[in-house]
Amino acid sequence: MEEVKIYLSEAEMPRRWYNIVADMPNKPAPPRHPATGEPVPPEAFSAIFPMNIIEQEISAEREIAIPEEVLSFYRMYRPTPLIRAFRFEKALKTPAKIFYKYEGASPAGSHKLNSAIAQVYYNKQAGTKRITTETGAGQWGSALAMACNFFGLECVVYMVRVSYNQKPYRRIVMETFGAKVHASPSNNTKAGRDALAKDPNSNGSLGLAISEAVEDTVTSKDTKYSLGSVLNHVCLHQTVIGQEAKLQLAKAGLYPDVVVGCVGGGSNFSGLSFPFVRDKIYGKQVRAVACEPTSCPTLTRGLYKYDFGDSVGMTPLMLMYTLGHGFMPPGIHAGGLRYHGDAPLLSQLVNEKLLEAVAVDQLPVFQAAELFARSEGIIPAPESAHALAGAVVEADKARQEGKERVILIGLSGHGFLDLAAYDDYHQGKLKNFPLPQEEIDKALHELPPIPANK
C-alpha cells in the first residue's frame, strides 16, 4: 500500500540553504536611498542588523552551510512531513496527485521558525543580547520568541494593539516562551508616545509597530531588529522547505508539475519554490504559482517599482511588486498576507516570468480550507488556505484535461489560533473584497519619485 506520509530521516535533512541569486538570469536590483536614489551600501543596515546577517543578505553564493547549532534546533521538528492528500483529491474528483508539505507541525505552528532560529543564532554569534520585532497576527512573534528562548536572548515584541486585544492566544504563546510583548503604540518609544498623545485609544498599525521596534533597537544596548519575511536572508532560510519536498517527491519517483503556495511578504513561497525555480532556469518543465488575496493583489495588480519596505517610509527603497506603501488592505482574516509589497527576489522572478501569480477571493479560500479540513483533518491557517484555493484551481484544470498532474502545495501553518475566522465563515459573516481600480491607482500614486521609478 502506498504510504500517505513521506518522511525523511534527520540524516537526510538539507545541510545547506539554497541561494537563488547565484542562478537568477539577472542580478538582484540593489536597495536605493529614498532621497538620492543611489544604491545603499550594506553597512548602512548595521544599526539594525548584525553584519553576519547583512553579509547573507547580499551573498551570491549558491549554497550556504547551515550552522550545526541551527541544524540541531531544526532537528526538533524537521524534516517536516510531505503528505499525499488522497482524500482531498477524491473530494475534488481530480486525477491529479496532490501532495502538501506541512510546516504547521513545527512547534511555532508555521514555517516562520526556520528563519527565526537562524536569525537568532547569527545574532547571538554577533554578540546581540536582545532582539526586537513587530508582529501583527503573531505568527512571526511566536516563532522569534521561541527561538530567542532556545538561544537565551531577550525578545521584545511590539504587537499591534488591536491584535493584542483581539488575539490574546498568540500573546500568551510568546509570553510562555519568555518574550516581553508590548501593545503598540506603547509608552516605550517616542513614536509610541506621540501616537498615544494624538489618540490614547489608538488601535496601532503594523507600520507603527515597526517604527517602535526599530526605535527601540537603535536606542538600546546590544539590541538588534529582526524581520520575519521579505528580505533575501529570510527567503534563503526557508529553502529547507523546498529542498526537503523535492527529495521527498523523488523518493516517490515524482517531480511536481506545479508548485503552489501563499504569498504575503513571500518567504514561505520563496522557500518552497526556489529549489524548483532553479531547475526551471536550467530548462526543467515546472510551474510555480504564487497565491495572493484579491484584497491585497501586489503581484497581480501592483507595479514593479521601487518603494519603501514599511508603510511609514523609514526604510531604503526596494525594487518589488507593490501597491504603494500607503495601501491599506481590507481586514481579511489572513493577516499575514496584508503586505503592500513583496520580497524583491520573488518579485524579480515574477517579473522575469519564472514564477506565476494568481489572486484568490476570501470566500473560495475558506471553502477550500473547510473542504481540506474535512478531507485531511487539518484546519489550515487562513494564509495557508490561499495555497489550497490555488491548488483547487489546478486540480480542476487537471480534471478537465484528464491529466494526472503532480501538484505540490506549501501548507505553511495550522489554524488553531485562527478559529474565530472559521466561526465568521460558518455564520456567513465573511465576504470578498473586490478592489476598484481607482483605489489601487490612488495608492500607487504615492510611489517614491526616484529616477529608477520613471
Per CB under 8 A, residues contacting a second copy are 1, 3-5, 7, 9-11, 75-77, 87, 105-109, 146, 149-150, 168-169, 172-173, 175-178, 370, 373-374, 376-379, 414, 416-417, 419-420, 422-423, 426
3-state helix/strand/coil string of the chain: CCCCEECCCHHHCCCEEECHHHCCCCCCCCCECCCCCCECCHHHHCCCCCHHHHHHHHCCCCEEECCHHHHHHHCCCCCCCEEECHHHHHHHCCCCEEEEEECCCCCCCECCHHHHHHHHHHHHHCCCCEEEEEECCCHHHHHHHHHHHHHCCEEEEEEEHHHHHHCHHHHHHHHHCCCEEEEECCCCCHHHHHHHHHCCCCCCCHHHHHHHHHHHHHHCCCEEECCCCCCHHHHHHCHHHHHHHHHHHHHCCCCCCEEEEECCCCHHHHHHHHHHHHHHHCCCCCEEEEEEECCCCHHHHCEEEEEECCCCCCCCEEEEEECCCCCCCCCCCCHHHCCCCCCHHHHHHHHCCCCEEEEECHHHHHHHHHHHHHHHCCCECHHHHHHHHHHHHHHHHHHHHCCCCEEEEEECEECCCCHHHHHHHHCCCCCCCCCCHHHHHHHHCCCCCCHHHC
**Do 24 and 311 form a contact (C-beta atoms < 8 A)?**
no
Nearer to a second copy, 172 or 393 (CB): 172
Nearer to a second copy, 6 or 96 (CB): 6
Q: How far is the CB of 228 from a second copy (least distance, A)?
A: 17
Nearer to a second copy, 7 or 304 (CB): 7
Nearer to a second copy, 88 or 306 (CB): 88
Question: Which cell numbers hold the place of 421?
Answer: 475566522
Q: How far is the CB of 412 from a second copy (least distance, A)?
A: 16
Nearer to a second copy, 38 or 423 (CB): 423
Q: How far is the CB of 185 from a second copy (least distance, A)?
A: 22
Q: How far is the CB of 356 from a second copy (least distance, A)?
A: 30
Nearer to a second copy, 106 or 243 (CB): 106
CA dist., res. 280 & res. 201, Å (int): 51
Q: How far is the CB of 169 from a second copy (least distance, A)?
A: 5
Q: How far is the CB of 173 from a second copy (least distance, A)?
A: 7
Nearer to a second copy, 245 or 346 (CB): 245
Q: How far is the CB of 238 from a second copy (least distance, A)?
A: 18
Q: How far is the CB of 130 from a second copy (least distance, A)?
A: 18
Q: How far is the CB of 149 from a second copy (least distance, A)?
A: 5
Nearer to a second copy, 1 or 35 (CB): 1
Nearer to a second copy, 147 or 395 (CB): 147
Nearer to a second copy, 9 or 187 (CB): 9
Nearer to a second copy, 141 or 326 (CB): 141
**Do 133 and 158 form a contact (C-beta atoms < 8 A)?**
yes
**How do 180-184 and 154-160 pair as beta strands?**
parallel
b/e string for 21-58 if b means 16 or more Cβ within 10 A? bebbeeebbbbbebeeeeebeeeebeebbbeebbebbe
Q: How far is the CB of 16 from a second copy (least distance, A)?
A: 17
Cα 409–Cα 412–Cα 418 angle in degrees, nearest 5: 125
